[in-house]
Amino acid sequence: MATKLEITQQVRKFIIDNIFGGSDNADLKDDTSLIATRVMDSIVALKLVTHLETTFGIEFEAHDVSQENLDSINRISEFVLSKMK
Partner 1 sequence: MNATGHEQRIALSDTSGRTLTHASFKYSIDYCTAFLRNSGITANSRIVLLLEKNFQSITLIHAIIDLSATYIPADPNWPEQRINSIINDCQPHAVIHAGGIFLSTFPGSYMDIPECGKVVLSQQITPPDSDYNEIEDTAYILYTSGSTGTPKGVCVPRSAMTAFTTWCISAFQINSNDVIASVAPIQFDLSICDIFTSRTVGCTLHLFRKEDVINPRFVVREISEKQITFIYATPTFLSGLVHYGRLEKQNHNNVSRVLFAGEIFAVRTLHQLMDIWNKAEFYNLYGPTETNVCTYTEIKKDPERIAPYPIGQVCPGHEMYIEADGELVVSGPHLASGYLNLEALTKERFITKQGKAWFKTGDIVEKISGEELNFKGRKDRMIKRRGYRIEPGEIEAMALRLKNVINAACIATENTNDEVLLTLILEGVQQKNELALRLELSHILAESMLPDRIITIDKIPVTSTGKTDYLALKDYVKQNTTKR
Under the rule (CB under 8 A), what is the footprint of partner 1? 17-22, 25, 27-28, 32, 37-39, 41-43, 45-46, 49-50, 60-63, 65
Residue 44: CB minimum distance to partner 1, A:
8
Q: Check: CB of residue 4 under 8 Å from CB of residue 81.
A: yes
Residue 42: CB minimum distance to partner 1, A:
4
3-state secondary structure of 84: helix
CA distances from 50 to 43, 59, 76 (A): 11, 9, 13
CA-nearest of 43, 54, 48 to 72 is 48
Of 4 and 13, CB closest to partner 1: 13
Of 2 and 28, CB closest to partner 1: 28
